[in-house]
Structure 1
Amino acid sequence: MEDEQILAALNAHWQASAAGDINAEHDIYDNDVICDYPQSGERIFGRANLQTLRGHHPGKPSGFRVRRILGSGDTWITEYTINYQDKPAYTVSIMEFREGKVIHETQYFADPFEAPAWRSQWVEPIDG
């Protein structure tokens, strides 16, 4: 699969996720996908389990914004923000593709924090 096709599939995936279209959101995954959540120590086996787990999430996202997508070949990374119950979760998704489908995904979730004042002279705020 060409990079342009994978990028189009990723854009469709994230748009479906933002819209709450759980079926279209999971079209990108192989039936035998493995999804890891390293921070909680969980591994989900199979597209059906992943889709069912996400469909039962008690705090449906109230907002979703892709910051950027990077990748080529079989490995792609998406940085995005999900709002759960008015709180942002800064998220990184690493997807590995085989024959046009995601066979492995690892997702990292991080809470925002206040920037320390001591470094203000060297930084600028990021929009959004």
Structure 2
Amino acid sequence: MPTDFEGIFAKIADTMKRRDYDALEQLFTDDYVEEYPQSGEVVHGARNARAIRENYPGGGVTEQAVEAATTRIGATDARWVRPPAFTLIHAEGTGNIGTATFRNRYPDGSIWWIINLVEMRGDRIARATMFFAPVFQAPEWRKPYVEPRKAAGGA
């Protein structure tokens, strides 16, 4: 049976929004390894991965920690919604290797994209490499060559 990457990443998003760290920890193998190439850090073990999320300064990524601002994420100007603080945008994979794109709004209101590359062992995540990038204003010089993104999750 193929790995249900969308289901696994949806569980991650759900446990993060609910701050259910017991359920989150169960998604990782005991010898789980998480790498952050941008900062040069490596996390060893499901318990440490949990502790990082549980002890995040500012209270983590819950709806209650975010100001009640609205953000347009729909395809038309008529669709204004307040997205969840931690949203799965896309997930896919083959065999035991998968990728996911998340959109996260931190307690300070900043919006970041998170790219997660994972290796599964059975139905649990054994290894992850995570990249974080803030939303930023596109430079003027590119305007002649691009069009605004119409999909979910822009600035």
Normalising by structure 2, we get a TM-score of 0.75
**Matched residue type, 2:89:** R
1:115 aligns with 2:142: no
Shift of 1:112: 1.7
**Matched residue type, 2:3:** D
* Whole-Å separation in 2 of the counterparts to 1:116 and 1:80: 23
Corresponding residue of 2:25:
26
**Matched residue type, 1:90:** W
* Whole-Å separation in 2 of the counterparts to 1:40 and 1:126: 28
**Matched residue type, 1:69:** A
Instruction: Mark the runs of 5 or more structure 2 residues left unpaired by the alignment.
Output: 67-84
SS in 1 for 2:23: helix
After superposition, what is the alpha-carbon deviation per residue over 1:73-116, rounded to whole angstroms, capped at 9, x for unaligned? Answer: 11111101111110011110111011221110011001122112
* Whole-Å separation in 1 of the counterparts to 2:11 and 2:102: 14
Percent of matched pairs sharing the same residue: 26
SS in 2 for 1:39: coil
- Runs (4+) off by over 3 Å: none
Please identify, of 88-97 and 109-118, the stretch whose mean Cα deviation from structure 2 is larger: 109-118
The structure 1 residue matched to 2:94, chosen from 57, 72, 75, is 72
1:100 aligns with 2:150: no
SS in 1 for 2:26: coil
Shift of 1:66: 1.4
More strand by share: 1
* Whole-Å separation in 2 of the counterparts to 1:75 and 1:32: 17
Computing the radius of gyration from Cα coordinates, the structure with the larger value is: 2
* Whole-Å separation in 2 of the counterparts to 1:44 and 1:119: 38
**Matched residue type, 2:14:** Q
SS in 2 for 1:25: helix
Instruction: Mark the runs of 5 or more structure 1 residues left unpaired by the alignment.
Output: none
Please identify, of 13-22 and 90-99, the stretch whose mean Cα deviation from structure 2 is larger: 13-22
Corresponding residue of 2:2:
2
> Contact (CA 8 Å) 2:10, 2:88: kept in 1 or not?
no
* Whole-Å separation in 1 of the counterparts to 2:88 and 2:6: 13
> Contact (CA 8 Å) 1:13, 1:27: kept in 2 or not?
no
How many pairs are equivalent?
A: 127
* Whole-Å separation in 2 of the counterparts to 1:65 and 1:124: 24
> Contact (CA 8 Å) 1:37, 1:43: kept in 2 or not?
yes
